[in-house]
Structures are given as structure tokens and as C-alpha cells.
Amino acid sequence: MSPNQPLRIAGLAFVSALGLAPLIAVGALPGEASECRRPVPASTYSMEVLVDGRPLAVYNAGGTTYVEALKGREYAVRLTNHTGERVAAALAVDGLNSIDARHTSSQDARKWILAPWETVTLSGWQTGSGTARRFVFTSEPKSYGAWLGRTSDLGVISAAFFRESRRRDEIAAEPSLPQQPLVQGGAEGDSADAAPRAKALGEMKASAKDQLAATGIGREIEHRVVRVEFDAEDVAASTVSVRYEYHDALVRLGVLPAVDEELARRERARGFADSGFAPDPFRSGQ
């Protein structure tokens, strides 16, 4: 995307400190003509969680997609539209809309507008027409959701993508496209892991909440926004969700293998190193 091009969001639009103007879509406008649903190709839209500009590794287990949260680190969410059509994306972090922090359905949520083939990176909650506050990995008691009294959906990031509405008379002449299933996160053959993962989830409820990951509201950054109109379809074309937890929690869930750190240290041992002469402990203070 050109640095001088606006960034769009459904209902409202934001402009970053670098001159990027994200747009937010206004709610869908009712139309008199009936609408037709169009099939959605797989892998049409994507979402990544970034730390220091790099995407976190993704792990699939039990039909759920996970990333490892890094305690105290700021992060951002990158959304990409891999189509030639404008789309609106509702982004919720810990169940809170990234634009107004409300907990709503994806249909009713304020949304970011992505131009054809566009990628946008959202670094925090929009706190005003020109400011946002960074997403940061923290504990449940220090989370933005806890401050707002909304803790039912901590540990999840979700993006719902809505295509722009088209009337039946606009698409009547188009050839029909083959139906393609939406791709869901997760790998085949994970059902055997369901029992230990459910047990681990039960154990985690009793663990200290400050050991579980959530998202806090961090430092303020410049991020200006602009409102635009966008007539969205009634149903999301695709929804992508990612669960995030700290390393120990992912191990307990069976997502990551348990590692004996002391044994791992010994496994990294090497026989030779070019260090010159043997150090003399009796002369170390000289």
C-alpha cells in the first residue's frame, strides 16, 4: 500500500502517524433489491500476529490455532485481503472490538476497510479520532478486558471479513462459481489430543490468573481515522481466530512439547572452543 493512501475501516477510518489513513466502515445500508451470496475461495483473507514486525509461529492442535504470547511485549495484528474486491474486517482482541472496545457480534461490529489486495497492520485499540493505544501481552488482572469488566473472551484474537454487498441485477450475468469450503485452522488427526487438552484446561482454571496471557492497553501512538460508507453483506465471508497463551500454558495444553531446561542446556554442550589458554582461578582478581 502506498504510504499516502488511506487505510479504511468499516464505519470509521484511521490515519497512522506515517500518513496511512485507515478507514472504518459505516453500517450496511438497506437496499430494496434482493442479494445473492457469492462463494468464497479458500485462503482469501489472512490474519497474522506480529512482534517487532515479524509474525509469531503458528501451532495447530485440536482444531485450534495457537501462537505463543511473549510477556510484556507489544504486538500488532496484520490483516490481508487477497482479493480484487474491497472488504470490511471486524477485529476483536479478547472479545473487544479494536475500534470501540465493545463486545458485539461481528455483523454489528465497527470494521476496518481493506482495498483490493491490501494489507493493514493494526497496533492497538483506537482511543480517539487521532490516537490508539498499543496491544501488549500481559496477565489477566492487568488486561484491558479486566479494567472494562469483560473477561469472558481473554486469550483470543478474531477477524471477520465481510464482502461489499452486490445486488442481484449486478451479478446476474456472471457465470456461477464452484463452491469452495472455508479453511478452518487445525490439522487432521488431532481428535486424540482432545482428552488431555480438556483435562489441562480444567487444571488451568485453578492456576494463578497472572500466569495466563491477556492483552493490556499500552502506550499511546498517533493513528488518525476517517469514516466511510460500506454496504456489507449480512454474513461474514470468512472468520479467522487465533488463541494465544504463554509458553508454560501451551506446554500444559499439549500444544508445545515439555522441555527439561537443564537437560537441554547439557544437550547444547560442545567439546571444543577456541579460548586461548586455561584461565587461572588464583589470578582471576589480578
Residues 125-166: tens digit of each pLDDT: 999 988 999 999 999 999 999 999 999 999 999 999 999 987
Residues 209-242: tens digit of each pLDDT: 668 999 999 999 999 888 888 999 999 999 999 9
Amino acid letter, 201: L
Residues 261-282: tens digit of each pLDDT: 788 788 888 887 766 777 788 8
Grid cell 490516537 in the structure block, residue: 131
What confidence score (pLDDT) does residue 276 get?
Answer: 75
Q: What is the 3-state secondary structure (H, E, C) of 234-261?
A: CCCCEEEEEEEECHHHHHHCCCCCCCCH
Q: Which 3 state secondary structure label does DSSP give 272?
A: coil
- Shortest CA distance to 165 belongs to which of 87, 79, 80, 238? 87
CB 136 within 8 A of CB 216: yes
The model's pTM is: 0.70
The residue extents of the domains of the chain are 13-28+44-164+183-259
| Interatomic CA distance for residues 113 and 24, integer angstroms | 6
CB 134 within 8 A of CB 125: no
Q: Are strands 213-229 and 96-97 parallel, antiparallel or unpaired?
A: unpaired
**CB-count exposure of residue 164 (10 Å: 0-12, 13-18, 19+):** middle
CB 90 within 8 A of CB 109: yes
Per-residue pLDDT at 192 exceeds 90: no
